[in-house]
Amino acid sequence: MMQQLNATLRRVPEWAVWLVGSLPLILLTADVLTGNLGVDPIRDIEHRLGRTALYFLIGSLMVTPVRRLLRLNAMHLRRAIGLLSFSYAVLHLGAWVLFDMGLLWGQMLRDVVKRPYLIFGMGAFVILLILALTSNRFSIRRLGANWRKLHRLVYLAAILASLHWLWALKLLSSWPVICTGAILLLLLYRAYVAWGQPLKEALQFR
């Protein structure tokens, strides 16, 4: 069955990921245009875009564990998933700048260097920007082995993005905590693969 699934998965083109990935934006736009967003559309637009960016970031972190644990290979779709996360992060930041802050550049600049939740968010955004800029074939070839090292920054981006969310809350609520937990789990898996396995083997051979 896995073989069949993998065969199907291999035939899924990148543009199909983009198509599915644009659905949250289409639904959001429809909700804005039909006045379906309720009393404070600005907050809804901003928060939905931010959450979608985080979901795709989590999705991109799932590709490797899913391949190793379930033997399902979606590696050829990972770049599109990552770029979708970046695209929603751009829209999220844009909504903050334009709708929420109303282009108050002075206050935005003062806040961005002072408020932890904005420092976290901007940090995550800058990392995603760098990763997006170096996601093309040319950069991958040019950077060689360094490309993998550079793109490990996505782990940091994921942590910063969840801190950005948690730090803006008045009281901890369950959904952002669950998302943060998912990210920690996905990072722990990598730590285990990188250090846990070798450590276990080293101990066994003693």
Partner 1 sequence: AWALQGKPSPLSTDQKPNSFEEITNYNNFYEFGYGKEDPARYADALTTDPWSVEISGLVERPGNYGVEDLAPESALEERIYRLRCVEAWSMVIPWLGVPLSSVLNRAGVQPGAKFVAFQSVLRPSEMPAQRGSGIDWPYREALRLDEAMHPLTILATALYDKPMPNQNGAPIRLVVPWKYGFKSAKSIVRITVTDRQPETSWQTLQPREYGFYANVNPQVDHPRWSQATERRIGAGLLAGRVETQMFNGYGDQVAQLYAGMDLKKNY
Question: Which positions lie near partner 1, rule CB under 8 A?
Answer: 38-42, 98-104, 107, 110-111, 115-117, 167-168, 170-173
89-120 core/surface letters (b: 16 or more CB in 10 A; e: else): bbbbbebbeeeeeeeeeeeeeeeeeeeeebbb
- The answer to whether residues 31 and 38 touch, using CB atoms and an 8 Å cutoff, is no
Quick one: which of 54, 25, 60, 69 has its CA closest to 179?
54
Taking the least distance from each CB to partner 1, the nearer of 132 and 168 is 168
Alpha-carbon distance 52 to 88, whole Å? 7
Q: Cβ of residue 89: shortest distance to partner 1, in angstroms?
A: 20
At its nearest, how many Å lie between partner 1 and the CB of residue 58? 22
Which one, 105 or 205, has the nearer CB to partner 1?
105
Q: How far is the CB of 96 from partner 1 (least distance, A)?
A: 12
Q: What minimum distance in Å lies between the beta carbon of 49 and partner 1?
A: 14
- Whichever of 11 and 170 has its CB closer to partner 1, that residue is 170
Phi, psi at 45, each rounded to 5°: -60, -50
Nearer to partner 1, 145 or 172 (CB): 172
Residue carrying the six token digits 């931010």:
50
